[in-house]
Amino acid sequence: MTGDPGIVIVGASLAGLRGAEALREGGYDGPLTLVGDEPYRPYDRPPLSKHVLAGELPPEATALPQQRPLRAHWRLGQPATALDRTRKAIRLGDGSEVPYTKLLIATGARARPWPGEGAHLAGVFTIRGRDDAAALRLALARPPKHVLVIGAGLIGCEAASCCRDLGVPVTLADPNPTPLARVLGTLVGGTIVECLRRADVAYRAGTKVRALMGEGGHVAGAHLHDGGLIETDCVIVALGAVRDTEWLAQGGLRADAGGLTCDAACRALTRAGDPDPDIGAAGDVARWPNPLYGGREMTVEHWGNAVEQAAHAARSLLRPDDPRPYRHLPAFWSSQFGINIKAVGLAEGADAVAIVQGDRAAQRYLAVYGRSGRSIAAVSFDQARWLPSYADRIAEGAAFPPILDATDQGRVEILAPGFPPARPGPAADERMREMAHV
């Protein structure tokens, strides 16, 4: 054993793996340790709420390819529970200590559990990990009499879509008038309402579930705030994600349930507000001031960010003399009801939306969002071909509506995006959810 404990990565999933690969690619040759809470090597989460639930892929098929040799120590099945920055070591769940020279924090997020009564009833599920998806898959294969999905975000809609593919009756409940209302607005959300209608999903807009009630320990129904009741024997809670970062806060870093705050180069900030040059962060857990948005602090809980930010944070650890800001245009994809949805930018706060390609009625179109005369985001429904061109315009802050020299661009229709009013509560909490793959 040498005197140099080397680089330790906490969180062995997408960002952890890609961070490890980037460190080796960047020429780092010393010891490398990956610590992971889950017992599995890194795997891919997007298929969980799609093909795994549908029974098309076994959960273990989602293991991610490792693109280069890492020669790493894997400490799997152990959470990191404490950080001691003075002694430069972390403690694991089994009490052992792991010293580090540099640390990359990639602990992601976990599903927000059902906050009300009935969270521990059998038949109540969340979808974040392989085991969650495997358990829910078993329940869906039985099949249940009636599924209730709480929360019409991306994961909630994907799950509802799988249920219908399996022929299982499903109700989707959300307080907003349409699914994805906060991410894409109700105008574009209306496209999903149409998909739900065609697929025979009962969409309950303006519906807030108050409590889940059981019979003999198994869920039997959901009580609504308005006094109503939905009978169900299987509940999928899709209310977004939270982070377990108390151990980092105790280590003197700026961390809370919304993420670990970093500088622009993705290095963790201490309580005093300066970056610790030996600690980087990436993926769903990392909150950083994004230069593309005037340094506004954000977390981006999508696949593409985990990949890019991991490489950036790895570079910042290897090149402390040359920290560079991480400039990122958020992006995600989702597939549901047979439609491919792709989005770039942050549509939140848009004051207009322009249908720039395709046809809304045919559910095949590309919409660009504008705010104060600038193009800020775009979404495509089965119209991905033009998205990269609009993404470039958005990253440049081009005028709205953006003009492309596209031959198949018809008349541009400009409409109100229909974002629901901001929820009461701390603004930081609002921001955190808007960018989540929930």
Residues of the shown chain interacting with another protein in the complex, contacts defined by CB under 8 A: 44, 46-47, 51, 56-57, 60-73, 303-304, 307, 331-333, 335, 338-340, 342, 364, 382, 384-385, 388
Write down the least CB distance from residue 108 to ligand FAD, Å: 2
Among residues 83, 98, 101, the alpha carbon closest in space to that of 4 is found at 101
- Look at residue 101 and give the partner it binds from another protein, ligand FAD, none, a contact being a CB closer than 5 to 8 Å depending on partner kind: none
Write down the least CB distance from residue 11 to another protein, Å: 18
String marking each residue 17-36 x if it binds ligand FAD according to CB under 6 A: ------------------xx
- Look at residue 94 and give the partner it binds from another protein, ligand FAD, none, a contact being a CB closer than 5 to 8 Å depending on partner kind: none
Under the criterion CB under 6 A, does residue 306 sit at the interface with ligand FAD? yes
What tokens appear for 398 in the block? 């081009």
Contact between 118 and 285 (Cβ < 8 Å):
no
What tokens appear for 295 in the block? 């340094």
Under the criterion CB under 6 A, does residue 10 sit at the interface with ligand FAD? yes
Distance CA 122, CA 144 (A): 12
**Which residues 6+ apart lie within 8 Å of 353 measured at CB?**
185, 187, 188, 347, 367, 368, 369, 370, 414, 415, 416, 417
Under the criterion CB under 6 A, does residue 303 sit at the interface with ligand FAD? yes
Could you count the other beta carbons within 10 Å of the beta carbon of residue 256? 17
Which range, of 101-109, 172-180, 362-370, 390-398, touches ligand FAD by CB under 6 A?
101-109
Among residues 163, 156, 195, 204, the alpha carbon closest in space to that of 437 is found at 156
Under the criterion CB under 6 A, does residue 162 sit at the interface with ligand FAD? no
- Look at residue 106 and give the partner it binds from ligand FAD, another protein, none, a contact being a CB closer than 5 to 8 Å depending on partner kind: ligand FAD
| CB-nearer residue toward another protein: 101 or 340 | 340
Scan for tokens 């229909």, then name that residue.
418
What tokens appear for 428 in the block? 């930081």
Write down the least CB distance from residue 308 to another protein, Å: 10
Could you count the other beta carbons within 10 Å of the beta carbon of residue 31? 17
Which residues does residue 268 pair with via DSSP β-bridges, in sequence order? Answer: 262
Angle between helices 427-434 and 181-198 (to 10 degrees): 40
Pairing mode, strands 374-381 and 339-345 = antiparallel
| CB-nearer residue toward another protein: 67 or 372 | 67
| CB-nearer residue toward ligand FAD: 148 or 331 | 331
What tokens appear for 140 in the block? 């869906």
Write down the least CB distance from residue 268 to ligand FAD, Å: 14
The binder of ligand FAD chosen from 100, 203, 288, 332 (CB under 6 A): 332
Site for ligand FAD, rule CB under 6 A:
10-16, 35-38, 45-46, 48-49, 79-80, 106-109, 127-128, 155, 244, 283-284, 301-304, 306, 332-334, 437
